[in-house]
């Protein structure tokens, strides 16, 4: 009698983690998409600057990526920059 109640209780939770699975698959597809396509040619134009005041070195680039989806097209502009004091 107790085992029947446990079986009914476990059936009620069926599909509870489907959202987590979909999010994981979405992240995996995004990583594979950008991993295969790599960076655009604009991203290879890197600027390295050494400043005297304040004493630091800066490495930066600027590029844009256009995403084409059904009913949606958007251009993202990226400006990665790293600075380190000397």
Would you kindly state where each structural domain of the chain is located, as residue ranges?
15-85
Rounded to whole angstroms, how far apart are CA atoms 25 and 31? 10
Residue 14 pLDDT > 80? no
- Beta strands (DSSP E) in the chain are 47-51, 56-60, 63-69, 72-78, 81-85
Spell out the residues 6+ positions from residue 73 whose beta carbon is closer than 8 angstroms to its own: 66, 67
Residue-wise pLDDT tens digits, 17-70: 666 788 888 888 888 877 766 777 888 889 999 999 889 999 999 999 898 988
The model scores a pTM over 0.85: no
Cis peptide before 44 (omega within 30 of 0): no
Residue 76 pLDDT > 60? yes
What is the residue whose two structure tokens read 């979909």?
22
């Amino acid at each position: 009698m107790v085992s029947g109640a446990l079986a009914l209780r476990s059936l009620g939770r069926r599909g509870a983690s489907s959202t987590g699975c979909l999010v994981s698959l979405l992240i995996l597809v995004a990583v594979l998409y950008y991993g295969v396509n790599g960076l655009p040619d604009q991203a290879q134009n890197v600027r390295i600057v050494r400043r005297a005041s304040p004493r630091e070195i800066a490495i930066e680039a600027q590029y844009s990526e256009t995403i084409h989806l059904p009913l949606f097209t958007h251009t993202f502009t990226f400006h990665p920059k790293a600075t380190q004091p000397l």
